[in-house]
């Protein structure tokens, strides 16, 4: 599974970071960083939560 | 002819909203039996009402297909010739333009950047409350809810604090132009009033744009005045529309969420009690106020291709109307949606919209609401409703014009 961020949409609302801190973090410039591009299947539940909570609908999962 | 079920026109009738508040019983029925329903009302263009939470998300997810530019809101004045031509804001742009113009401002509205101003906001809120501390009888709207958002947006744009009353008046005249309470003494009302007010806002803002091009300051007017798209300054119409959007959106909606939040607390004393005893509930209480009040009633989307939604054929160019307050009462998403619950969690409310056009100032609005209610929760000794709220004649914004109440506050 692969995590995709639509950079045209992401505005650093940080909600994905709360849902799945293993995969997302904010850098010092307030930009979203994806720490693991192909995360392990065990993180799927948290990643789906992150995708669903993004108020800009900027995240998606590709299998 | 479309085979869509018919929606009652109450859901878009400004008179209904003024007299009764939100038409929840009609939305409940539509969500249950007719999630895509056809509606006609007087001189408005016909439309399809979208009332379910998931459908609003699905439409919002596809900004390339469901456009904002063709029609933004259903108001008689917006249907009037000329009015839509006079504003070009983020609200009636679509990608890719929307993204280019939104980016000019979005970095000033991120959570991280705004969080730095929380202490300042708390100070402003406490000063507002100091003024009414010993007063007893107040109008909560004009003495509390309207004041903080106006102060904040004036400060962000670098406009004189003394002009705040004028911003309030202009915003009411444009957004509430249908409401007889906002007609001018010379009889100007309706579309003519909205146009006149816009003209005055533009003239006012032009002075500041010219000044900030000559000598930029550390404010958002300077950012906009000096911003360039493809090497050129923004066209005057775009620049002035942008400023008007920030002024109007920056005060009307937060004002109404604040007033509606207070009214909800007064109507649910057990919830008021929880909030007064546990200041920790502030954030979830504010989120619930946004869900409960949903100050923006609707925005339109227009597909540029023929689509089918819940079996209803919608042709390219026909209009959908997304009803956000209905989504925020969707029983498939919210447990016991008609319970006002300051502890509600999770609360994926759609009061700020979602996706491409998510409210740019969503986080600012949250911080403003938190500042006011943090102050109130800390200081309220006694509160009591002293009359009925007077509601705005509008099916775009769920406005409360006055909320008479008695309030006694402790010193800060």
- pLDDT confidence of residue B125: 98
How many residues belong to chain A?
63
Measured between alpha carbons, how far is residue B192 from residues B81, B174, B178, B237 in Å?
11, 10, 10, 19
**What pTM was estimated for this model as a whole?**
0.96
**B383-408 mean pLDDT:** 97
The count of C-alpha atoms lying within 13 angstroms of the C-alpha of B192, restricted to the half-sphere facing its C-beta, is: 7
Q: pLDDT tier at B278 (50, 70, 90 boundaries)? A: very high
Q: What is the pLDDT of residues B38-59, one digit of tens each?
A: 999 988 999 999 999 999 999 9
With 80 as the cut, is the pLDDT of residue B83 above it? no
- pLDDT confidence of residue B86: 73
With 50 as the cut, is the pLDDT of residue B79 above it? no
**B217-246 mean pLDDT:** 97
With 70 as the cut, is the pLDDT of residue B84 above it? no
Candidates B392, B411, B344; CA nearest to B172 is B392
How far is B197 from chain A, CA to nearest CA, in Å? 32
Long-range contact list for B98-103, CB < 8 A, 24+ apart?
Answer: B98/B63, B98/B68, B98/B356, B98/B357, B99/A8, B100/B229, B101/B229, B101/B238, B101/B242, B102/B360
Rounded to whole angstroms, the Cα distance separating A46 from A16 reads: 9
Those of residues 332-371 in B touching chain A at CB distance below 8 A are 348, 352, 354-356, 358, 362-363
Mean of the per-residue pLDDT values of chain A = 96
What does the CA dihedral B128, B133, B135, B139 come to, rounded to 10 degrees? Answer: 40
Of A13, A26, A56, Cβ closest to residue B355: A56
| CATH code of the domain in which A50 resides | 3.30.70.20
Residue B353 near residue B291 (C-beta atoms within 8 A):
no
- Lowest-pLDDT range, B21-35, B63-77, B213-227, B292-306? B63-77
Candidates A56, A16, A53; CA nearest to A36 is A16
With 80 as the cut, is the pLDDT of residue B3 above it? no
> How many Cβ atoms sit within 10 Å of the Cβ of residue B166?
16
Residue A14 contacts B, CB cutoff 8 Å: yes
- pLDDT confidence of residue B344: 98
Residue A33 contacts B, CB cutoff 8 Å: no
- pLDDT confidence of residue B354: 98
How far is B59 from chain A, CA to nearest CA, in Å? 12
C-alpha B299: how far from chain center: 11
Mean of the per-residue pLDDT values of chain B = 95
Residue A11 contacts B, CB cutoff 8 Å: yes
With 80 as the cut, is the pLDDT of residue B360 above it? yes
How many residues belong to chain B?
412
Those of residues 60-79 in B touching chain A at CB distance below 8 A are 60-61
Those of residues 99-158 in B touching chain A at CB distance below 8 A are 99, 106-107, 109-113
- pLDDT confidence of residue B250: 86
Q: Which residues pair with B402 in a beta bridge?
A: B390
What does the CA dihedral B77, B358, A31, B287 come to, rounded to 10 degrees? Answer: 130
Rounded to whole angstroms, the Cα distance separating B394 from B77 reads: 11
With 60 as the cut, is the pLDDT of residue B85 above it? no
- pLDDT confidence of residue B57: 97
- pLDDT confidence of residue A58: 97
Tokens of B348: 């994926």
Residue B15 near residue B393 (C-beta atoms within 8 A):
yes
Q: What is the pLDDT of residues B316-345, one digit of tens each?
A: 999 999 999 999 999 999 999 999 999 999
How far is B135 from chain A, CA to nearest CA, in Å? 39
With 70 as the cut, is the pLDDT of residue B81 above it? no
Q: Is this complex's ipTM strictly greater than 0.90?
A: yes
SS (H, E, C) chain B: CCCCCECCHHHHCHHHHHHHCCCHHHHHHHHHHCCEEEECCCCCCCEEEECCHHHHHHHHCCCCCEECCCCCCCCHHHHCCCCHHHCCCHHHCCCCHHHHHHHHHHHHHCHHHHHCCHHHHHHHHHHHHHHHCCCEEEEHHHHHHCHHHHHHHHHHHCCCHHHHHHHHHHHHHHHCCCCHHHCCCCCCCHHHHHHHHHHHHHHHHHHHHHHHHHCCCCCHHHHHHHCEECCEECCHHHHHHHHHHHHHHCCHHHHHHHHHHHHHHHHCHHHHHHHHHCHHHHHHHHHHHHHHHCCECEEEEEECCCEEECCEEECCCCCEEEEHHHHCCCCCCCCCCCCCCCCCCCCCCCCCCCHHHCCCCHHHHHHHHHHHHHHHHHHEEEEEECCCCEECCCCCECCEEECEEEEEECCC
Tokens of B319: 């209009």
pLDDT values of chain A reduced to their tens digit, one per residue, 63 residues: 999 999 999 999 999 999 999 999 999 999 999 999 899 999 999 999 999 999 999 999 998
Q: Is B285 exposed, middle or buried (0-12, 13-18, 19+ CB in 10 A)?
A: buried
With 80 as the cut, is the pLDDT of residue B284 above it? yes
Q: Which residues of chain B lie closer than 8 angstroms to A8, CB-CB?
A: 95, 99
Residue B326 near residue B303 (C-beta atoms within 8 A):
no
**B154-166 mean pLDDT:** 95
Portion of chain B with pLDDT greater than 70, in percent: 97
Rg, C-alpha atoms of chain B:
21
Residue B193 near residue B201 (C-beta atoms within 8 A):
no
| Total number of domains in chain A | 1
**B284-289 mean pLDDT:** 98
Residue A18 contacts B, CB cutoff 8 Å: no
Q: What is the pLDDT of residues B254-276, one digit of tens each?
A: 999 999 999 999 999 999 999 99
Residue B183 near residue B193 (C-beta atoms within 8 A):
yes
Residue numbers of the domain that contains A45: 2-62
- pLDDT confidence of residue B82: 52
**B381-408 mean pLDDT:** 97
- pLDDT confidence of residue A63: 87
With 50 as the cut, is the pLDDT of residue B11 above it? yes
């Amino acid at each position: 599974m692969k995590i995709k961020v639509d950079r045209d949409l992401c505005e650093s609302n940080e909600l994905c970071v709360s849902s799945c801190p293993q995969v997302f973090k904010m850098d010092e410039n307030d930009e979203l960083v994806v720490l693991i591009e192909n995360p392990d299947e065990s993180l799927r539940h948290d990643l789906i939560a992150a995708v669903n909570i993004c108020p800009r609908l900027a995240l998606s999962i590709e299998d | 002819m479309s085979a869509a079920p018919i929606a009652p026109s109450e859901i878009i009738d400004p008179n209904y909203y003024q007299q009764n508040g939100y038409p929840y019983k009609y939305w409940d029925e539509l969500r249950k039996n007719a999630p895509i329903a056809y509606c006609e009302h007087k001189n408005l263009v016909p439309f399809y009402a979208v009332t379910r939470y998931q459908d609003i998300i699905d439409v919002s997810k596809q900004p390339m297909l469901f456009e904002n530019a063709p029609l933004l809101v259903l108001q008689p004045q917006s249907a009037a010739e000329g009015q839509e031509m006079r504003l070009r804001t983020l609200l009636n742009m679509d990608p890719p333009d929307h993204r280019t113009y939104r980016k000019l401002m979005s970095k000033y509205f991120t959570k991280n950047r705004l969080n730095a101003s929380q202490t300042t906001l708390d100070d402003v809120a406490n000063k507002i409350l100091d003024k009414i501390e010993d007063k007893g009888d107040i109008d909560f709207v004009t003495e509390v809810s309207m004041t903080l958002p106006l102060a904040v947006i004036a400060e962000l744009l670098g406009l004189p604090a003394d002009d705040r009353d004028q911003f309030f008046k202009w915003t009411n005249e444009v957004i509430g132009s249908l409401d007889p309470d906002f007609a001018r003494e010379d009889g100007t009302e309706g579309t003519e009033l909205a146009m006149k007010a816009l003209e005055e806002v533009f003239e006012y803002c032009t002075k500041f744009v010219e000044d900030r091009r000559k000598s930029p300051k550390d404010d958002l007017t300077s950012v906009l005045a000096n911003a360039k798209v493809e090497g050129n300054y923004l066209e005057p119409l775009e620049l002035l529309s942008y400023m008007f959007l920030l002024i109007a959106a920056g005060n009307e909606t937060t004002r109404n969420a604040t007033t509606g939040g207070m009214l909800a607390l007064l109507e649910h004393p057990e919830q008021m009690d929880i909030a007064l005893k546990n200041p920790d509930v502030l954030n979830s209480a504010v989120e619930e106020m946004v869900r409960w009040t949903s100050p923006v009633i609707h925005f339109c989307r227009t597909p540029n291709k023929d689509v089918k939604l819940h079996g209803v054929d919608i042709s390219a160019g026909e209009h959908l109307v997304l009803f956000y307050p209905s989504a925020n009462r969707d029983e498939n998403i919210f447990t016991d949606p008609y319970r006002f619950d300051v502890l509600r969690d999770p609360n994926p409310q759609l009061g700020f919209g979602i996706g491409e056009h998510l409210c740019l100032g969503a986080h600012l609005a949250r911080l403003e609401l938190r500042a006011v209610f943090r102050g109130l929760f800390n200081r309220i000794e006694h509160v009591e409703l002293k009359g009925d709220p007077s509601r705005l004649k509008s099916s775009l914004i769920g406005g409360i014009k006055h909320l008479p109440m008695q309030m006694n506050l402790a010193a800060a």
